[in-house]
Amino acid sequence: MAFVDEAKFFVKAGDGGNGCVSFRREKYVPKGGPSGGDGGNGGSVILEASSRLQSLIDFRYRSHFKADRGGNGQSKDMHGRNGNDCHMQVPVGSVIKDSETREVLAELLTEGETFVAARGGRGGLGNAHFSSGSNRTPRFASKGKEGEEHWLRIELKLIADVGLVGLPNAGKSTLLSRLSAANPKVASYPFTTLEPQLGVLQFKYEEPCIIADIPGLIEGAHEGAGLGHTFLRHIERTRILLQVIDVSADDVQTDFKVIENELRSYREDLLDRTRILVLNKTDIVDPEKVNAALASFTELGFQVALISGLTGEGIQHLKDIIEEKLEELRILERQGLEEKDQGGQEPGVDDE
C-alpha cells in the first residue's frame, strides 16, 4: 500500500433547518396562537487523531466530506432534528492547513484530539419566537444558517523518537532493519527507500522508541532536488537524529557537510537536536581511515558510533547510546513539566 503524507480535501458542514410557520388549531381552543417549531442545527465535520492510522491513504479514495443537514421545524412547537456530525479519523501528527493561504489551523498530536474542520449552521427560529403584543400572529419564521464549507490541506508529520538521515546508499535501511523488526527494501543501489519507513526499537529496561527512516538526501534537496525534501517534515518532531555516513566514501567530510547544509537550509533548529554520527560500513574500510574519521568528528564535539550494518558489528553499542540519550531527554522533559507546573504558584513570603 502506498504511503501518502499529504492530501487536499473538501469539507461541508450541514445547513441549519428552517423554522416553521404554524398556528395551533384544536377543537374548542379558539385563537391558539403561533406554534411553529425551530429548525435543527446542522452537523459539523470533525477530525479526530487516531494512532491506528499511519498514512493518509484514505484521502486518496475520498476527498469530499459532508455532514447532515438539520431538519426543519414542525407544527405544535416541535423542534427539527439536529444533523449528524461527520467524524473523520486522521493519523496522530496531522497538520491541518487552509488550502489557499496555507495557514496552519490545527495540529493533532495526541490520541483522541479533535478539530472542528467545518461548523454546522444554526437552525432557524419558528414563528412562535416572533409573537409580541403588537403582532400576535406572526406569519414568518427565520431560515437556517448555512454550514461552513472550504477546501483544506492535511499534512502528516510522523511522531518518532529517532530519525535516520543520510545520503543515498549510506545504509539507513539496513540499519533500520538491525535496530528494529522492520523489513524495508535493501539493495546495492541508491534511492531504494522511496517513502518513509517506521520501526520500533525495543529496550530491556526502558520504554520502546519509534525510528523513522526517510529517503536519502542529496545536495539541493531543500530546493526540490531528489526525494528527501518531500519527507524532511517527518524528522521535525524527533528527539534524536542519527546521521548515517558511509565511511567507505571517497570524501567522508564532504558527505557530512552536504547533510549538514541540507538540514540547516530546511530548518536551522534541526542542528540543535541531539545528534549521533553513525559511521557505517566499517567492515570494508581500512581501520586507519575509520580511526581518522572518528578522531575528526570527535573533535567537532559529536558522539560517534562505529557500526557495520551488514555484519551487525557495533549495533548493540549504538542501541545503548540511543537508550541512554533518550532517558536523559525524558528526564529533562519531566523536569521541565514539573517546573512549568510549579511556575503558576507564587512563592511564599515570610511574615515579618
Q: What is the pTM of this model?
A: 0.67
Looking at 217-226, 237-246, 262-271, which range is the least confident one? 217-226
**pLDDT computed for residue 142 by the predictor:** 93
**pLDDT computed for residue 38 by the predictor:** 94
pLDDT per position as a tens digit, 192-236: 455 677 788 888 777 788 888 877 666 554 455 544 456 677 777
Average pLDDT over residues 180-198: 59
Q: What is the 3-state secondary structure (H, E, C) of the chain?
A: CCCCCEEEEEEECCCCCCCCCCECCECCECCCCECCCCCCCCCCEEEEEECCCCCCCHHHHCCEEECCCCCCCECCCECCCCCCCEEEEEECCEEEEECCCCCEEEEECCCCCEEEEECCCCCCCCHHHHCCCCCCCCCCCCCCCCCCEEEEEEEECCCCCEEEEECCCCCHHHHHHHHCCCCCCCCCCCCCCCCCEEEEECCCCCCCEEEEECCCCCCCHHHCCCCHHHHHHHHCCCCEEEEEEECCCCCHHHHHHHHHHHHHHHCHHHHHCEEEEEEECHHHCCHHHHHHHHHHHHHCCCEEEECCCCCCCCHHHHHHHHHHHHHHHHHHHHHHHHHHHHHCCCCCCCCC
pLDDT per position as a tens digit, 47-74: 999 988 877 888 888 899 999 999 999 9
In this predicted structure, the answer to whether residue 85 has a pLDDT above a threshold of 70 is: yes
**pLDDT computed for residue 216 by the predictor:** 62
Confidence of residue 116 (pLDDT cuts 50, 70, 90): very high
Average pLDDT over residues 86-112: 91
pLDDT per position as a tens digit, 29-48: 777 789 899 999 999 999 99
Domains of the chain, CATH where assigned: 6-156 (2.70.210.12), 162-339 (3.40.50.300)
